[in-house]
Structure 1
Amino acid sequence: MTTPRYAPPAPEIFKAYDIRGIVDTVLTPDAVRAIGHALGSEAVARAQRAIAVGRDGRLSGPALAGALAEGIRAAGVDVIDIGCVSTPLTYFAAHALGCDSCVSVTGSHNPPDYNGLKMVLGGQTLYGELIQALRRRIVDDELAAGEGALRSADVRTAYLDHIIADVRLARPMKIVIDCGNGVAGGIAPELFRRLGCEVIELFCVVDGTFPNHHPDPSKPENLQDVIRALRDTDAELGLAFDGDGDRLGVVTKDGEIIFPDRQLMLFAEDVLTRVPGGEIIFDVKCTRNLAPWIRARGGKPTMWNTGHALVKAKLKETGAPLAGEMSGHMFFKERWFGFDDGLYAGARLLEILSARPDPNAALKALPNAVNTPELNLKMNEGEPFELVRRLQQSARFDGAGELITLDGVRAEYADGFGLARASNTTPVMVLRFEADDEGALARIQGAFRAAIDSVWPGLKLPF
């Protein structure tokens, strides 16, 4: 059998945490077939015999998942097709089916014309150099040859049963769930009803055109429908999920958005009652209120790089029971598998809040500060990383007590912080600010404005 040769896929689709690009422009079926063959070849090198393949609700999903399966099988690796499911359910399939390897064909929260691949081999999430190595396999024609089998499996029931067996609500709750027409809509209503909730559904019909609003709960504008539904009904709480179901958004009864770093406070407090002294991992975008909250409850706070694959790797390395990101990814190792799952995180949140006399008050009592959401400065490809390099090398941040350069530049002040980091998924600079009051926030933003202008004059900043 002759190993087929492929035209090398566009290098820009090989991102830091996954493969992602515009469908039929750079992410074509031929490109995905080649990537599948490279992935299958890497699986052979790791003695992995089968890979579970799931896809989200995007219109390009069936064709790309089919091409991916063809490529994997051409390396002699079996494919287990688990259909149209959330990314966390694909991760779950790797455990439930005993193959330890999986790929989710998903564009996550990107626009409808995007798609991509999130990949796990032998329990290891592929990121960084491991993703670049797949492209090199294609370029160098280092591809295994074989005839892998194709079969289907339904792990949906096992996934639901596993969560239902694990999570117990102290009382029934009435909730709003908004799936933004993402793939979570195919399973979230059933999950929360089986947990004992009365559910008001918003946009739970899976539709890859996302006709109502973008499925990204990290953006406040995408939570306005939840806020309205909570105002107009007697529901107690709102949950929102992103396009592939691995991120959670939370809204209180009176319409306050509880950003993920504050959600993590509640999760950490709960987990530390069962894992005394446990390490809690969070990314550089999270509130400075989080570390003292964790320490006060006997835990060990660890700040880490942003990126679901990077956080998962750190979780595995440290054995920490819990991690979370400002973007909404929550990783439970205690009682769960350590992968990010918005639906499971929502279930754990309800377990905690159902035992509180006033869930709304419990959420609003979490320490808060004056802050901005993520602010994005669009730049050309590669420029955000160059800007970070210049800031780290020569910029001054007047009044800062500490500069953290773990991932970008985070300047810590006595009364707040500012952050500038390069996104690993799109060519944007991500900025975020937090302070004790509006005056401090304005001062810190001014310091960042001056620092950025000193190394890259003329940028139109989003603050």
Structure 2
Amino acid sequence: MKKLDPSLFKAYDIRGVAGDNLTTEVVEQVGLVLGTLAFEQGVPALCVGRDGRLSSPELAEALIRGIAGAGTDVYDIGMEPTPVLYFATHYFKTGSGVAVTGSHNPSRDNGLKMMMGGRTLFGAMIQDIRRRVEQEDWRRGCGKGRVERKDAETPYFEKIVGDISLCRPMKVMLDTGNGVTGPLAMRLYRKIGCSVTGLFTEIDGHFPHHHPDPSKPANLQDLIAELRNSDAEVGLAFDGDGDRLGVVTKDGEIIYPDRQMMLFSEDILKKHPGSQIIYDVKCTRRLVDWIREHGGRPVISRTGHSFVKARLHETNAPLAGEMSGHLFFNDGRWPGFDDGLYAGARLLEILSRSSNPSAVLHALPTAQNTPELQIPMAEGENKKFVQRIQEELHFPDAVDEIRIDGLRVEWKDGFALARASNTTPVVVVRLEGDTVQALDRIKKVFGEALRRISPDIKLPF
């Protein structure tokens, strides 16, 4: 059996350090397994795309070699945002594909996001890929699959342009963080009727200006500063591979994705009354109330784009989203995958109905809360710590204790969450209170509880 680093095989993707534990050899072997799975499931071809990281071309070549080596055809769409890869699996009717991307991780990292037969691979399915690589359980020597270059960007571009209708021209500033979305985003938003200013739109795998992760406030500071001094009405930011969206108002307020979902759910529920709306455990309680007030049914999910997507398909909900910025439109206009570029276009469509977009965004309900906070730990220790939290902590004064993903404790005036990240060795914490006093109390109560589990823990709040 082959010796693999088990930490490569995450809950909803394969991810590691390129050239270290994520080598071309490993990726080619994963390709062999994926090509074999495609054969076993009657999938004729796999779409393959890659982001703009320095290691992505070499890893994509290795992946394609493996898939074709198992006798499965490959549709190579080249360097494109991950949503374009997802779109390709629909457009070319394979339902199957792999994005070579490190997403929002550090520049040396890279990985694989995988779909097969219309399903996103996650959890036990990814562990089965690991098992099959270790046991060399793949087809080989049955004839090579064909590798064909395909243009997925043009039909993707045309689909969005044909779907989005702005009520008036808008002025928007984009920060693509030197990720793969830059050139496409600039063309796309201009085509739908916007005057566009771009920051860091050149694709550069070194990420020289700031890290492409809009969920971190520090990565939005350039956009906030430039937006204030421009005539742009709103700022949009994207992560390294384009499947997540960040939003900033004219005066610099960050509108986190759970508040973005309020606008999207209100808009969608007008045409789909009574529908379920999926949100993840990190989202504000205000979103839950908002969905109910607008005639929808809120449904909580584990965090992780694969878990949210699976829940979306189980329920056929018209909208799903998570706090990190993955937003899924499944309302008949878009085919249910997470796409930061499309989500940004849908947001502009809604905001174009107003002469003051910032006022619309400011009016969304909010609470006193923290952004996503992180407690770094050794690899694997975060999951052990959270398991102890789930088993040992109880709060008699709480309204509810939700354990589908870590521990989310609900009080009448706020909540506290601690969960293990599925991509990095950290415990993710988020806290919210209806007032400053409520948030301070929840921080104190939850912090003391976490210290009972680990007295030496360094809390970020």
- TM-score normalised by the shorter chain: which range applies? over 0.9
Alpha-carbon separation, structure 2, partners of 1:157 and 1:454: 56
Q: Is 1:176–1:202's contact at 8 Å kept on the other side of the alignment? A: yes
Q: Which residue of 2 aligns with 1:377?
A: 375
* Worse-superposed segment, 65-74 or 397-406: 397-406
Q: Which residue of 1 aligns with 2:384?
A: 386
Alpha-carbon separation, structure 2, partners of 1:398 and 1:238: 43
Structure 2 counterpart of 1:50, one-letter code: A
Q: How does 1:148-227 map to 2 (within 5 A)?
A: 148-227=145-224
Residue among 94, 97, 105 paired with 2:100: 105
Q: Is 1:397–1:451's contact at 8 Å kept on the other side of the alignment? A: no
Q: Is 1:391–1:409's contact at 8 Å kept on the other side of the alignment? A: yes
Alpha-carbon separation, structure 2, partners of 1:278 and 1:395: 34
Matched residue of 1:170: which SS? Answer: coil
When normalised by structure 2's length, the TM-score is 0.98
Residue among 75, 89, 105 paired with 2:70: 75
Tell me the CA shift for residue 140 of structure 1.
Answer: 2.1
Residue among 27, 32, 44 paired with 1:32: 27
Summarize deviations over 1:177-223 as a string: whole Å, max 9, x none. 00000000030000000001000010000001001100000001111
Summarize deviations over 1:331-350 as a string: whole Å, max 9, x none. 00011011000000000000
Alpha-carbon separation, structure 2, partners of 1:61 and 1:402: 44
Matched residue of 1:200: which SS? Answer: strand
2:243 maps to 1:243 = no
Structure 1 counterpart of 2:459, one-letter code: L
Tell me the CA shift for residue 398 of structure 1.
Answer: 5.6
Q: Is 1:353–1:359's contact at 8 Å kept on the other side of the alignment? A: yes
Q: Which residue of 2 aligns with 1:230?
A: 227
Alpha-carbon separation, structure 1, partners of 2:381 and 2:25: 30
- Determine what percentage of the aligned residue pairs are the same residue: 56
Residue among 94, 112, 122 paired with 1:127: 122
Q: Is 1:331–1:340's contact at 8 Å kept on the other side of the alignment? A: yes
Summarize deviations over 1:15-46 as a string: whole Å, max 9, x none. 00100000111000001000100111111111
Q: Is 1:215–1:243's contact at 8 Å kept on the other side of the alignment? A: yes
2:321 maps to 1:324 = yes
2:16 maps to 1:16 = no
Matched residue of 1:120: which SS? Answer: strand
Alpha-carbon separation, structure 2, partners of 1:49 and 1:89: 19
When normalised by structure 1's length, the TM-score is 0.97
Q: Which residue of 1 aligns with 2:88?
A: 93
Summarize deviations over 1:336-391 as a string: whole Å, max 9, x none. 01100000000000000001232111100000011100110011122222222222
Q: Is 2:277–2:291's contact at 8 Å kept on the other side of the alignment? A: yes
Matched residue of 1:349: which SS? Answer: helix
Q: Is 1:385–1:422's contact at 8 Å kept on the other side of the alignment? A: yes
Residue among 31, 42, 46 paired with 1:47: 42
Tell me the CA shift for residue 176 of structure 1.
Answer: 0.3
2:359 maps to 1:361 = yes
Q: Is 1:398–1:447's contact at 8 Å kept on the other side of the alignment? A: no
Q: Is 1:81–1:153's contact at 8 Å kept on the other side of the alignment? A: yes
Q: Is 1:86–1:246's contact at 8 Å kept on the other side of the alignment? A: yes
Matched residue of 1:222: which SS? Answer: helix
* Two-structure CA RMSD over aligned residues (Å): 1.0
Alpha-carbon separation, structure 2, partners of 1:132 and 1:393: 25
* Worse-superposed segment, 451-460 or 327-336: 451-460
Alpha-carbon separation, structure 2, partners of 1:200 and 1:399: 50
Alpha-carbon separation, structure 1, partners of 2:50 and 2:123: 22
2:445 maps to 1:452 = no
* Worse-superposed segment, 133-142 or 76-85: 133-142
Q: Which residue of 2 aligns with 1:395?
A: 393
Matched residue of 1:429: which SS? Answer: strand
Q: Structure 2: give runs of 5+ residues left out of the alignment.
A: none
Tell me the CA shift for residue 401 of structure 1.
Answer: 1.9
Q: Structure 1: give runs of 5+ residues left out of the alignment.
A: 1-5
Alpha-carbon separation, structure 2, partners of 1:7 and 1:55: 26
Structure 1 counterpart of 2:51, one-letter code: D
Q: Which residue of 2 aligns with 1:3?
A: none
Tell me the CA shift for residue 141 of structure 1.
Answer: 2.3
Q: Is 2:2–2:135's contact at 8 Å kept on the other side of the alignment? A: no
2:289 maps to 1:297 = no
Q: Which residue of 1 aligns with 2:282?
A: 285
Alpha-carbon separation, structure 1, partners of 2:212 and 2:268: 29
Q: Is 1:8–1:135's contact at 8 Å kept on the other side of the alignment? A: no
Matched residue of 1:183: which SS? Answer: coil
Q: Which residue of 1 aligns with 2:410?
A: 412
Alpha-carbon separation, structure 2, partners of 1:422 and 1:450: 19
Alpha-carbon separation, structure 2, partners of 1:262 and 1:268: 10
Q: Is 1:397–1:447's contact at 8 Å kept on the other side of the alignment? A: no
Matched residue of 2:375: which SS? Answer: strand
Q: Is 1:246–1:342's contact at 8 Å kept on the other side of the alignment? A: yes
2:135 maps to 1:140 = yes
Tell me the CA shift for residue 399 of structure 1.
Answer: 3.0
Structure 1 counterpart of 2:72, one-letter code: V
Summarize deviations over 1:141-164 as a string: whole Å, max 9, x none. 221123111110111111010001
Alpha-carbon separation, structure 1, partners of 2:23 and 2:431: 39
Structure 1 counterpart of 2:280, one-letter code: D
